[in-house]
């Protein structure tokens, strides 16, 4: 018997899930997204793509490990297609360097080094000179106290990896519909039976998966269920193109300052979480996970972030991005079935860092298998009964800590 699966959202999560499910015996997979062909209107289209394997909990570390394995495989798969203009690939093992500029922050790095060792991940504490040598444009040896180098971390070109996942899924028979706006869910007799499109078409399904990113709560609400994720706006800026090209350096994070920087090969980028919170009400979201640049408070926060770089390498922002992504009350994804509504699944609040591993785990759960320790803790129902306002405040409290993991 055919099992019809509809996935709402063709970002890195929905496309990865289609890749994991397509070709399985009896599965007919359809992915719907309102973005036009070749465009990614969701968060995936904006992410600078840091992939740090050591998570705040073992389940996140497991998902990131699995993700890196899959991204490497997709990157090899794509190599035959020719490299993009800046020479970057889907996933690059650039490593990550965490930098401390105070004794207290150095203590945090030592703690993380111990956690990495316990998780079997390579990580090495380095002095300020070595940190600056590893990332000369980003690390100022004068202000750095120490660094923690994770050679196995990397950076992802999320758009490229999403395209490769889609290509693979389509080769296995999955169908993707671009420009397809989902307006509601078909709920009958306490079960989800598919989705309604804006043109009034019903797309019937045995399983409906919300991989709709920051818009997930809007669709869930139409089915009468709560999806406790909060969209937040986040600043990231790019410098102008650089003439000189060189091997890409590591992703750099200053956890105590809530700042990170990425070498994009042909230009630099920097992002910061150290600013006044800017939640976006789901009802106010447009169709792109992007908001207008607000001026202050982002200008001031970006200027403070740039001040961490060596004076000679501070750059004037050429492109300012105010992207939107999800935070949850415990900083973990919302992944799994909705217990109260059979046939409906969530694959939301998932980072690029965890996307392919999360999709593989969800595909296993949909097959009725046990996807591994810790999966149940990601249930989208885990906050059932708690008031929405309390959950929202808890989620927002985590925002500044995203790159300040202890
Ligand atoms: C500025 C910025 C920096 C980030 N940095 C990083 C980082 O360094 N590392 C990292 O791991 N993550 C990062 N993230 C987070 C990461 O981008 C997201 O967690 C991830 O891309 C989410 O993928 P997704 O597929 O779930 O959602 P999305 O990419 O948002 O995809 C959801 C899709 O659903 C579609 N959709 C929604 N509603 C409907 C509907 N009603 N009908 C039809 N289609 C619909 C949308 O069009 C969209 O394409 C960052 C995000 C931003 C914005």
Residues 142-153: tens digit of each pLDDT: 999 999 999 999
pLDDT, one tens digit per residue, over 82-113 is 444 445 579 999 999 999 999 999 999 999 99
Ligand 1 atom 3: residue of nearest CA: 47
Cα 398 to ligand 1 centroid, rounded to whole Å: 18
CB distance 150 to 93 below 8 Å:
no
- For ligand 1, is residue 213 a contact (CB within 6 Å)? yes
Residue 84 lies in a domain: no
Cα 243 to ligand 1 centroid, rounded to whole Å: 31
Question: Residue 135's domain spans which residues?
Answer: 90-153+230-327
- Domain final position from 292, 308, 327: 327
- Domain final position from 284, 305, 327: 327
Confidence of residue 265 (pLDDT cuts 50, 70, 90): confident
Residue 69 lies in a domain: no
314 in the same domain as 250: yes
Cα 45 to ligand 1 centroid, rounded to whole Å: 7
The domain total for the chain is 2
Best residue among 39, 47, 199, 222 to mutate for probing ligand 1, ranked by most atoms within 8 Å of CB: 47
- For ligand 1, is residue 403 a contact (CB within 6 Å)? no
- For ligand 1, is residue 50 a contact (CB within 6 Å)? yes
Quick one: pLDDT at residue 88? 59
Q: pLDDT exceeding 70 applies to what percent of the chain?
A: 95
290 Cα nearest atom in ligand 1: 53
Q: pLDDT exceeding 90 applies to what percent of the chain?
A: 89
- For ligand 1, is residue 150 a contact (CB within 6 Å)? no
Ligand 1 atom 5: residue of nearest CA: 47
Nearest to 205 by CA among 249, 235, 175: 175
Cα 26 to ligand 1 centroid, rounded to whole Å: 29
Cα 325 to ligand 1 centroid, rounded to whole Å: 6
Residue 269 lies in a domain: yes
Confidence of residue 404 (pLDDT cuts 50, 70, 90): low
The CATH number assigned to the domain holding 238 equals 3.30.9.10
319 in the same domain as 222: no
- pLDDT greater than 70 at residue 341: yes
Cα 42 to ligand 1 centroid, rounded to whole Å: 4
217 in the same domain as 195: yes
> Rounded mean pLDDT of 59-78?
92
Residue 81 lies in a domain: no
> Rounded mean pLDDT of 35-51?
94
Does residue 31 sit in helix, strand or coil? strand
95 in the same domain as 218: no
| Mean model confidence pLDDT for the chain | 94
- Domain final position from 305, 327, 349: 327
- For ligand 1, is residue 211 a contact (CB within 6 Å)? yes
234 in the same domain as 143: yes
The CATH number assigned to the domain holding 162 equals 3.50.50.60
125 in the same domain as 107: yes
Confidence of residue 402 (pLDDT cuts 50, 70, 90): low
- For ligand 1, is residue 262 a contact (CB within 6 Å)? no
312 in the same domain as 275: yes
- For ligand 1, is residue 215 a contact (CB within 6 Å)? yes
Quick one: pLDDT at residue 406? 45
Spatial separation of the C-alpha atoms in residues 203 and 199, rounded to whole Å: 11
Q: What are phi and psi of 263, to 5 degrees?
A: -85, 115
Residue 146 lies in a domain: yes
Quick one: pLDDT at residue 395? 95
Orientation of helix 12-21 relative to helix 158-171, angle to 10°: 30
286-296 residues labelled b (16+ CB within 10 A) or e (exposed) = eebbbbebeee
Residue 78 lies in a domain: no
Spatial separation of the C-alpha atoms in residues 226 and 47, rounded to whole Å: 26
- pLDDT greater than 70 at residue 231: yes
- pLDDT greater than 90 at residue 242: no
- Which stretches does DSSP call E strand in 199-333? 202-204, 207-210, 230-238, 251-254, 259-263, 268-272, 319-327
Residue 71 lies in a domain: no
- pLDDT greater than 50 at residue 314: yes
247 in the same domain as 142: yes
148 in the same domain as 243: yes
CB distance 90 to 78 below 8 Å:
yes
CB distance 79 to 85 below 8 Å:
no
249 in the same domain as 213: no
**DSSP 8-state secondary structure symbol assigned to residue 367:** T
- For ligand 1, is residue 44 a contact (CB within 6 Å)? yes
Confidence of residue 81 (pLDDT cuts 50, 70, 90): low
**80 CB contacts (<8 Å, ≥6 apart)?**
none
Ligand 1 atom 52: residue of nearest CA: 47
164 in the same domain as 127: no
Quick one: pLDDT at residue 371? 87
Residue 65 lies in a domain: no
Quick one: pLDDT at residue 79? 63
pLDDT, one tens digit per residue, over 145-203 is 999 999 999 999 999 999 999 999 999 999 999 999 999 999 999 999 999 999 999 99
Best residue among 39, 41, 44 to mutate for probing ligand 1, ranked by most atoms within 8 Å of CB: 44
Quick one: pLDDT at residue 85? 44
Nearest to 75 by CA among 163, 151, 169: 163
245 in the same domain as 136: yes
> Rounded mean pLDDT of 261-286?
94
Quick one: pLDDT at residue 390? 96
């Amino acid at each position: 018997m055919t099992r019809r699966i509809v996935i709402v959202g063709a970002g890195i999560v929905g496309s990865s899930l289609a890749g994991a499910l397509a070709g399985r015996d009896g599965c007919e997979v359809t992915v719907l997204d309102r973005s036009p062909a070749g465009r990614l209107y969701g968060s995936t289209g904006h992410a600078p793509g840091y992939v740090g394997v050591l998570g705040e909990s073992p389940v996140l570390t497991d998902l990131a490990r699995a993700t890196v394995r899959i991204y490497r495989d997709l990157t090899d798969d794509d190599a035959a297609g020719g490299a993009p203009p800046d020479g970057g690939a889907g996933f690059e093992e650039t490593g990550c360097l965490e930098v401390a500029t105070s004794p207290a922050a150095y203590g945090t790095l030592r703690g993380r080094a111990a956690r990495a060792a316990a998780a079997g991940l390579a990580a090495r504490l380095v002095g300020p000179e070595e940190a600056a040598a590893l990332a000369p444009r980003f690390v100022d040896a004068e202000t750095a106290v120490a660094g923690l180098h994770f050679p196995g971390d990397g950076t992802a070109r999320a758009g490229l990896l999403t395209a490769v996942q889609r290509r693979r899924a389509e080769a296995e028979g999955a169908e993707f519909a671009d420009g397809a706006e989902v307006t509601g869910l078909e709920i009958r007799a306490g079960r989800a039976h598919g989705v309604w499109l804006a043109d009034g078409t019903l797309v019937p399904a045995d399983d409906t998966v919300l991989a709709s990113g920051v818009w997930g709560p809007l669709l869930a609400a139409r089915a009468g269920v709560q999806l406790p994720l909060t969209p937040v706006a986040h600043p990231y800026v790019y410098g102008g193109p650089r003439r000189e090209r060189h091997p890409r350096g590591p992703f750099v994070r200053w956890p105590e300052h809530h700042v990170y920087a990425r070498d994009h090969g042909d230009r630099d980028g920097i992002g910061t979480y150290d600013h006044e919170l800017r939640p976006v009400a789901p009802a106010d979201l447009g169709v792109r996970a992007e908001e207008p640049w607000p001026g202050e408070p982002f200008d001031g926060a970006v200027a403070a972030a740039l001040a961490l770089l060596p004076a000679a390498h501070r750059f004037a922002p050429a492109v300012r991005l105010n992207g939107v992504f999800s935070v949850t009350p415990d900083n973990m994804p919302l992944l799994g079935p909705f217990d109260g509504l059979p046939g409906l699944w969530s694959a939301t609040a998932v980072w690029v860092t965890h996307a392919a591993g999360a999709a593989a785990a969800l595909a296993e759960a949909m097959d009725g298998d046990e996807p591994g320790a810790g999966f149940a803790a990601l249930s989208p129902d885990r906050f059932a009964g708690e008031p929405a306002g309390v959950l929202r405040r808890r989620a927002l409290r985590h925002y500044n800590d995203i790159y300040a993991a202890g």
